[in-house]
Amino acid sequence: MKKKEIKKKIFRPVSFLPLEKIIYPLITLLAFTGIWHGLSTMYPTYQLPSPLDVCRGMMELWGEGVIWEHIRVSLFRFSVAYFLAAASGIFLGLLFGWHIRLHAAFDPFVQMLRPISPIAWFPLAILWFKVGDPPAIFIIYLAAFFPILLTTIAAVRSVEHIYLQVALNFGTRERDILTKIIIPAAFPQIMVGLHLALGSAWIHLVAGEMLGAQSGLGFLIIDARNFLRTDWIISGMIFIGLLGLALDKCMGWMEKRINLLWGHVMKN
Amino acid sequence: MEKTVKIKVDGLYKTYLDARGRVYDALKKIDLEVYEGELLCLLGPSGCGKTTLLRIMAGFEQPSRGYVAIDGGIVEKPHVKYMILFQNYGLFPWRTVLGNTEYGLEVNGVPARQRKEKAMELVRLVGLEKFAHNHPHQLSGGMQQRTAVARALAVDPEVIFMDEPLGALDAMTRLKMQEEIVRLWQDKRKTIVFVTHDISEAVYLSDRIAIMSLSPGRISKLVDVPLGRPRNRSGADFARVQDFIYAEFEMSIREEIDYYI
Ligand SMILES: Nc1ncnc2c1ncn2[C@@H]1O[C@H](COP(=O)(O)OP(=O)(O)O)[C@@H](O)[C@H]1O
Ligand SMILES: [Mg+2]
């Protein structure tokens, strides 16, 4: 009897009404905003502006077009760094994944570099790249590079042996093995790395733009603090969060398409 | 009709180390001749070395002793003329049915137009024209099997090795695929070595059956199947041959027990 009940609980299909999907987060949001508003009455505006203040701040940033310039600059840096990281990470990942000896030679080095936070590279980034775009791009690059490199190596390693045997049976040349077998077979897993890296890179975008940059979303936040425009700080944070969410959704959508095409069953 | 030997297996051993690090014979003194254009089944219980023997014949592994020769040449590595169909097909999930079928032609430099035509012809031959642009995961087990057959046939191989290709299919599909394989074999006249552990499958398909037994893996008996084609599974002759093979099979298992005693 008891067991049956437990079973029922475990296997009960969870079904949402479409409306519920909107209502629940909405309730959370309202509650959060309410508490925030309550707290904000207890502090001066420069320490904790009210939600309404922040809304006004957002409109201001939006209306004057300031925010667009910052977003444009940030997205530019982000794209350059992410693209470089993807290209070099996938290239080296394929190389190390395929050539065991090369991997053995470089792996300890990579393992040692990997745990160093991109933020620890700040001083060097400034010494090497001075100010402007390059240090920010460098930091974002570092944040994206390692996840891509490591997942690509793992992806190549875990290509099913049978694909290689089939390729061998058909007399496939080594060059074709790479382009026609390894890359497509490893692709879904490489996508996972690209997705991880996207998040990591976006998180470090702000950090990267806090040093020496004169524009961008990270700079916006730092700069607003100098003027004690706390409403702009929070507005900037909200913009960063929303953009990050949008990027993640785009990536998730692409990943899903690829998994669908490859016939992978998506977990979750 | 004069029979020419296509594949010759001579004094072949394959030894492995077992879990305790002792040497044992996965295959012991295998001698076998497969004739040009025949359909020969390797029939034996699980673990008797069928897969190992097939992989050695197809050049994917080296024997510990002895050799395999096809058309008089020793087999050392895989070759596109000798196709193996693996137990779980090994279809490329990122390619469509047509794309999979094209693969062998593509990597061997056949121009795009030509290979599309040829691949389409084979997809049609195995009855998958409606699914040509589907990916493997959108197909049933039987359709995946057909795709693997089409892919192998596309490069016009001389020999096809099949490792329990129908093992994963449900009973009805399995019977249907057996008929298909006989049809394709009669149509294309390839030499086929077919691995199975199903007696009635072996009797339905084969010209000859090599019965294998366990520990050490060896061929205990070579049996001609004296049945015409098309074969009638419910006929008395069929049942008789099947009983005969079954008896041989039992005997080989009994021998094995003796072997242990
Ligand atoms: N690479 C290997 N290393 C050690 N033992 C192996 C290896 N491959 C196969 N074997 C052993 O050889 C025997 C025959 O295996 P296999 O050819 O797969 O049999 P079958 O296909 O008839 O089921 C089994 O006992 C198996 O454990
Ligand atoms: Mg097997």
pLDDT (tens digit per residue) in B217-241: 888 889 998 888 888 888 888 899 9
pLDDT-based confidence at A267, cuts 50/70/90?
A: very low
B5-81+163-260: CATH superfamily: P-loop containing nucleotide triphosphate hydrolases (3.40.50.300)
B103 close contact with A: CB closer than 8 A: yes
The shortest CB-CB distance from B90 to any of A166, A261, A264 is to A166
Chain A, window 148-187: residues with a beta carbon less than 8 angstroms from a chain B beta carbon = 160, 162-163, 165-173, 176, 180-181, 184-185, 187
Residue of A166, A189, A258, A259 to mutate for B, most B C-beta atoms under 10 A: A166
In angstroms, what is the span from residue B124 Cα to ligand 2's centroid?
Answer: 30
pLDDT (tens digit per residue) in B152-204: 999 999 999 999 988 878 888 889 889 989 988 998 889 999 999 999 999 99
Q: What percent of chain A has pLDDT over 90?
A: 63
* Distances, alpha carbon B4 to alpha carbons B1, B9, B38, in Å: 10, 14, 10
Q: HSE-up of A255 (CA within 13 Å, CB side)? A: 19
Query: Residues with Cβ < 8 Å from A190, sequence gap 6 or more?
Result: A90, A93, A148, A151, A152, A155
* Distances, alpha carbon B9 to alpha carbons A100, B5, B160, B216, in Å: 35, 10, 16, 17
Question: Residue B228 is encoded by which pair of tokens?
Answer: 């015409």
Q: Is any ligand 1 atom within 6 A of the Cβ of residue B52?
A: yes
pLDDT (tens digit per residue) in A7-60: 555 666 667 778 888 888 899 999 999 999 999 999 988 889 999 999 998 998
Report DSSP letters for B72-118, one per residue.
Answer: TEEP-S-BTTEEEE-TT----TTS-HHHHHHHHHHHTT--HHHHHHH
Nearest CA in chain A to B95: A262
pLDDT at B91 over 90: yes
Contact across the interface for A262 and B135, Cβ inside 8 Å = yes
Domain-wise residue ranges, chain B = 5-81+163-260, 91-156
Q: Report the C-alpha gap between B89 and B95 in whole angstroms.
A: 14
Which pLDDT does position A3 carry in this prediction? 57
Q: Report the C-alpha gap between B212 and B221 in whole angstroms.
A: 7
Q: Yes or no: say if B93 and B135 are a contact pair by the CB < 8 Å rule.
A: yes
Q: Provide the residue count of chain A.
A: 268
Rounded to a whole number of angstroms, the distance from the CA of B102 to the nearest CA of chain A is 11
The sign of the dihedral angle between the CA atoms of B144, A164, B155, B66 is negative
Within 8 A of B84 by CB-CB distance, chain A residues are 169
- CB count within 10 Å of CB A178 equals 14
pLDDT at B207 over 50: yes
Which ligand 1 atom is nearest residue B55's CA? 17
Q: Is any ligand 1 atom within 6 A of the Cβ of residue B26?
A: yes
In angstroms, what is the span from residue B46 Cα to ligand 2's centroid?
Answer: 7
Q: Report the C-alpha gap between B111 and B114 in whole angstroms.
A: 6
Q: Report the C-alpha gap between A149 and B7 in whole angstroms.
A: 47
Within 8 A of A164 by CB-CB distance, chain B residues are none
- Ligand nearest to the backbone CA of B164: 2
Mean pLDDT, chain A, rounded, equals: 89
Strand partners, B163: B195
Contact across the interface for A180 and B107, Cβ inside 8 Å = yes
Contact across the interface for A170 and B103, Cβ inside 8 Å = yes
- The three-state DSSP-derived secondary structure of A111-138 is HHHCCCCHHHHHHHHHHHHCCCHHHHHH
pLDDT at B20 over 90: no
Contact across the interface for A170 and B80, Cβ inside 8 Å = yes
Q: Can the peptide bond before residue B230 be classed as cis, meaning omega within 30 degrees of 0?
A: yes
* Distances, alpha carbon A9 to alpha carbons A12, A15, A21, A228, A267, in Å: 5, 13, 21, 52, 21
Selection from A34, A50, A30 nearest residue A234 by Cα? A50
B83 close contact with A: CB closer than 8 A: yes
pLDDT (tens digit per residue) in A104-152: 999 999 999 989 999 899 889 889 988 888 999 999 999 999 999 999 9
Across A55-69, A116-130, A164-178, A250-264, which has the greatest mean pLDDT? A164-178
B135 close contact with A: CB closer than 8 A: yes
Selection from B153, B200, B158 nearest residue B34 by Cα? B158
Residue of A161, A162, A169 to mutate for B, most B C-beta atoms under 10 A: A169
Angle formed at CA A59 by CA A58 and CA A65, multiple of 5 degrees: 95
Nearest CA to ligand 1 atom 6: B16
pLDDT at B71 over 50: yes
Q: Report the C-alpha gap between B131 and B231 in whole angstroms.
A: 30
pLDDT at A166 over 90: yes
Which pLDDT does position A70 carry in this prediction? 92
- Which CATH fold would you assign to the domain A50-261? MetI-like fold (1.10.3720)
Rounded to a whole number of angstroms, the distance from the CA of A94 to the nearest CA of chain B is 18
Q: Report the C-alpha gap between B237 and A145 in whole angstroms.
A: 69
Q: Is any ligand 1 atom within 6 A of the Cβ of residue B218?
A: no
Phi, psi of B259 (to 5 degrees): -55, -40
Helices (H), A114-266: 122-129, 133-157, 161-169, 174-176, 183-209, 217-226, 230-262
Nearest CA to ligand 1 atom 26: B47
Cα B110 to its chain centre, rounded Å, is 27
Least confident piece of the model among A91-105, A210-224, B124-138, B152-166 = A210-224
Q: Averaged over B127-147, what is the pLDDT? A: 92
Q: Report the C-alpha gap between B62 and B90 in whole angstroms.
A: 21
The shortest CB-CB distance from A262 to any of B60, B79, B93 is to B93
pLDDT at B52 over 90: yes
ipTM for the complex? 0.90
Domain-wise residue ranges, chain A = 50-261
What pTM does this model have?
0.85
pLDDT (tens digit per residue) in A69-88: 999 999 999 999 999 999 99
Q: Report the C-alpha gap between A247 and B130 in whole angstroms.
A: 38
